[in-house]
Amino acid sequence: MRARLSTTFRSLTVRNYRLFAGGQLIKLIGVWMMYVAQDWLVLELSNDSPTALGLVTALQFVPVMLLTLYAGTLADRFDKRTLLMISNGAWAVLAIVQAVLIATGVIELWHIMIFAAMLGVAQAIETPVRQAFVSELVGKPLLPNALSLSAATFQTARITGPAVAGIAIAWLGTGPVFLVSTVMAIAPVLMQARMKPAELHRPELLVGDERAEAKVADGLRYVRTRHDLLLPMVMMLVIAMFGFNFQLTLALLAKTVFATGAATFGLFNTALAVGSLAGALAGTARKGRPSVYVLLTAAVAFSVLAIAVGFAPTKWMVLLLLVPTGFSTVFLAQAANQRVQLGVDGAFRGRVMALYVLIFLGTAPIGSMVISWIAETFGAAAGIWLGGAVSLVAALAALAWQLRHAGDRLAFQARPMPRVRVVHQESVVAA
């Protein structure tokens, strides 16, 4: 057990990464608390208006769509640690001002909308910079483990934050919850200030003059010429848009299909989150860049499980299926992230990860609108299984693309146990 734990958490032996992970965990728990309290406050101020809640949510994502690619150029031009301290500091200041307005009772709905957009700007800059900064904290040998631990940190906060917020709102009200979350938002700035710049891994960075000329278009051209980066990004564009919508579809499934309340919705989210945390921890054992066929297998597995959830006849069957579905969701996302991060040149990492973040977060409003229309027209279950079906088509198309590009083929092997394996072109030529 000690050997397993030392392997799982080996990135934490790096002091700079320990500071980074600790600050992120504290901040993310506070962020999830703030989101829950914010949604509750919006409903209170708008007389339970779904439109107002949807507008606030959209305002958080619009800056991601508009600014993420530009933030990637900043990550390749300037010191990432400094950018993170500035963006996290801006987030903390905005959160503090909003909390003060709430605590004094002068907050109005239009205030929350403005803060949602401004916090979205801070997030649009912070997210791609943070994604690219992980490699500088630990270097390439530990990067797969560090990325998986970062995902585990996010999932831990996702489980803990809403639970704490729900209890705190019931006991204390929304104002104190906002105040607590703002204090927690300062943690990354303090932790990043304590890092030792001399211990960062920066051998691949361009010199100052070349960094000043980093452009978005250069990053896009770089990805276009790299099949090993283009394939996971195109595939994940489709899957993230149509398959990763469980926050929307599970609420509708609990309320409209099974005619249950918030308790069942909470159970659905807990099952999905537990599986997601397990999927993040499973990736910590990886020591190198995942192969494209590991990525494609994970995509097919996720798609099949999503379809199964959509067709599940009872809420208990849904609950049972959501655990492996959550596992496959994060395992797939991490495999794609690691394949991109471990394959990109350091000089382009900021711009490439900005494009990757845009695929995951920037497409959320589009996917949510499409899946919402499907769920409203054909039912919540259709929104889930159709999203899984579209994801399966994308995964199979990516598999065919990869086989054709590499000259590989699939072969069925009956013994010693039935399985499908990949016959590589190199093996055929050598034989």
Query: Tens of pLDDT along 168-184?
Result: 777 877 788 888 888 88
Beta bridge partners of 409: 423
pLDDT band (50, 70, 90) for residue 431: very low
pLDDT at 208 over 60: no
In order of their start, the domains of the chain are 1-201 (1.20.1250.20), 226-431 (1.20.1250.20)
Sign of the torsion angle spanned by Cα atoms 283, 288, 289, 295: negative
- Alpha carbon dihedral 246, 250, 256, 262, in 10-degree steps, equals -140
Residue type present at position 42: V
pLDDT of residue 412: 66
Which class for 256: exposed (0-12), middle (13-18), buried (19 or more C-beta within 10 A)?
middle
How far, in whole angstroms, is CA 200 from its chain's centroid?
24
3-state secondary structure of 420: strand
List % helix, strand, coil for the chain (3-state, nearest 5).
85, 0, 15
| Gap between the Cα atoms of 232 and 361, Å rounded | 16
Tokens read off for 276: 């997601």
| Gap between the Cα atoms of 57 and 50, Å rounded | 11
Q: Which of 196-200, 213-217, 245-249, 366-370 has the highest mean pLDDT?
A: 196-200
Which class for 50: exposed (0-12), middle (13-18), buried (19 or more C-beta within 10 A)?
exposed
18-22, 205-209, 239-243: the lowest-pLDDT one: 205-209
pLDDT band (50, 70, 90) for residue 327: very high
| Gap between the Cα atoms of 180 and 194, Å rounded | 23
Q: What residue has token string 């050598």?
A: 430
Sequence length of the chain is 431
| Gap between the Cα atoms of 322 and 274, Å rounded | 9
What is the percentage of the chain residues whose pLDDT exceeds 70?
89
Beta bridge partners of 411: 421
Phi–psi pair at 235, nearest 5 degrees: -65, -45
**8 Å CB contact between 309 and 325:** yes
pLDDT of residue 171: 80
**8 Å CB contact between 90 and 201:** no
- Residue 204 CB contacts under 8 Å (≥ 6 apart), including other chains: 345, 346, 347, 349
H or E, element range at 409: strand 409-413
Across 118-130, average pLDDT? 90
pLDDT of residue 189: 92
H or E, element range at 423: strand 419-423
Q: Output the pTM of the full model.
A: 0.77
3-7, 83-87, 178-182, 196-200: the lowest-pLDDT one: 3-7
| Gap between the Cα atoms of 309 and 263, Å rounded | 18
pLDDT at 263 over 70: no
| Gap between the Cα atoms of 161 and 183, Å rounded | 14
Q: What residue has token string 């054992």?
A: 285
**8 Å CB contact between 269 and 317:** no
Q: Which of 83-87, 202-206, 209-213, 374-378 has the highest mean pLDDT?
A: 83-87
**8 Å CB contact between 260 and 315:** yes
| Gap between the Cα atoms of 393 and 249, Å rounded | 20
> To 10 degrees, what angle do helices 380-406 and 364-378 make?
130
Region at 105 (left for phi over 0; alpha for psi -120 to 50; beta for the rest): left
